[in-house]
Amino acid sequence: MQTHKIAVIAGDGIGPEVINEGVKVLKKIAELDGSFQFEFEFFPWGCEYYLKEGRMMAENGMEILSGFDAVLLGAVGYPGVPDHISLWDLLLVIRKSFDQYINLRPVKLLKGAPCPLKDVKREEINMTFIRENSEGEYAGSGSWLFRGKPNEVVIQDGVFSRHGCERVIRYAYELARKEKKTLTNVSKGNALNYSMVFWDQIFREVGKDYPDVETHSLMVDAASMFMVKDPARFQIVVTSNLFGDILTDLGAAISGGMGLAAGANLNPERKFPSMFEPIHGSAPDIAGKGIANPLATVWSVSQMLDFFGHEDWGKRVLDVIEEMLVENTCLTPDLGGTAKTWEVGDRVVEKLAK
């Protein structure tokens, strides 16, 4: 029997609440299928761990994780630990050390999902964001000079390597070709006169290998506007780390909210484990109340199933999410319902079994 080894990092706030439901779904699927199984190991890393141990993960944490096929992550960050420490020492270190340079985030308005845009048809919101996930504005390079002095200076570098830009842009072209979709490049070459001019140049260079792919290029400011005014323009989108972060929260807002937004951090070469997570944070405002929406996590579980080659199950899980949205009888408060987090998970499992 095929075994997939999953490292589970539930993390902080609503992380453990939503992760429970993701694990529940994976267990049920393995049971229903019978030809593969999951082996879970749970790691208590996160802000509580930090307050006890003085670190966000075990000292040999990355080495431990490297023995798994995938990581399932809830959310990281909680008041009491500075965000730049909690995120850099757990989530971001995993993305970078495991060279998960593709952050694949679907922005698709499923049937039944609420949308704040008027005059937009449901099928017009159906995009896939390919966000650069290893460098760029998130390179973590810079300096802090004369700290606390009147002449204090802070520098945050953007690092755009040819290798780093080419590989993510090529991945996006390949996906556009495979899915016969248009590819939109989002950048900001008018103001960012080194990094984004270079990015755009590479977009054109790589594009020479894909004459069959229809492309568009937009500045990130205009892209934000069009995502609201004319989302049908976007199919596959490729963009930098920070722009992708921001635009996918906007994407979540137009496709049902943070409770429905999923993401996969992929190392396409499979040299390292990939990581699957909802794109939302630890939501301290609702943590511990049992009302967090687990469907974003369930959607990321669907991405994990795809990545393992169980696309039939990946699709089935997504179909179940859509059925639940249409039925509108077992949803959490963010989607206008009264269900608890675990009730939503239980319903997903029940539907899968049918």
Residues that bind ligand IPM (CB under 6 A): 87, 91-92, 245, 279
Angle, vertex CA 277, rays to CA 276 and CA 278, nearest 5: 145
Q: Quick check: 87 binds ligand NAD (CB under 6 A)?
A: yes
Give the span between the Cα atoms of 129 and 15, in whole angstroms.
Answer: 23
End-to-end CA distance of the chain: 24
Q: Quick check: 75 binds ligand NAD (CB under 6 A)?
A: yes
With DSSP H G I counted as helix, E B as strand and the rest as coil, what are the percentages for the chain, rounded to 5?
Answer: 45, 20, 35
In a 10 Å sphere around its CB, with 0-12 CB exposed, 13-18 middle and 19+ buried, how is residue 97 labelled?
Answer: middle
Beta bridge partners of 47: none
Site string for ligand NAD, 315-354 (x = CB under 6 A): -------------------x--------------------
Token couple for 47: 């802000």
Shortest Cβ 277–ligand NAD spacing (Å): 6
Shortest Cβ 99–ligand IPM spacing (Å): 16
Local structure of 188: helix, strand or coil: coil
Contacts of 49 (CB under 8 A, 6+ apart): 55, 56, 57
Q: Quick check: 245 binds Mn ion (CB under 5 A)?
A: yes
In a 10 Å sphere around its CB, with 0-12 CB exposed, 13-18 middle and 19+ buried, how is residue 300 labelled?
Answer: buried
Binders of Mn ion among residues 247 to 276 (CB under 5 A) are none
Which residue in 4, 86, 14, 3 sits closest to 277, CA to CA? 14
Q: What is the DSSP letter of 330?
A: S
Nearer to ligand NAD, 225 or 246 (CB): 246
Which residue in 56, 53, 43 sits closest to 9, CA to CA? 43
Among residues 16, 77, 158, 256, the one that binds ligand NAD under rule CB under 6 A = 77
Binders of ligand NAD among residues 273 to 312 (CB under 6 A) are 277, 280-286, 292-293, 296
Nearer to Mn ion, 137 or 245 (CB): 245
Shortest Cβ 278–ligand NAD spacing (Å): 6
Nearer to ligand IPM, 21 or 245 (CB): 245
Site string for ligand NAD, 241-280 (x = CB under 6 A): -----------------xx-----------------x--x
Angle, vertex CA 49, rays to CA 281 and CA 249, nearest 5: 10
Nearer to ligand IPM, 104 or 339 (CB): 104
Shortest Cβ 31–ligand NAD spacing (Å): 25
Shortest Cβ 224–ligand NAD spacing (Å): 18
Give the span between the Cα atoms of 344 and 348, in whole angstroms.
Answer: 6
**In this chain, which stretch among 53-61, 92-100, 240-248, 292-300 interacts with Mn ion, using CB under 5 A?**
240-248
Nearer to ligand IPM, 202 or 279 (CB): 279
Nearer to ligand IPM, 100 or 235 (CB): 100
Which residue in 295, 236, 288 sits closest to 260, CA to CA? 295
Question: Could you tell which of ligand IPM, ligand NAD, Mn ion, none binds residue 25, using a CB distance below 5 to 8 A set by kind?
Answer: none
Local structure of 103: helix, strand or coil: strand
The two most distant CA atoms of the chain are separated, in Å, by 67
Nearer to ligand IPM, 265 or 339 (CB): 265
Chain positions contacting Mn ion, by CB under 5 A? 245
Binding site for ligand NAD (CB under 6 A): 14, 18, 75-78, 83, 87, 91, 258-259, 277, 280-286, 292-293, 296, 334
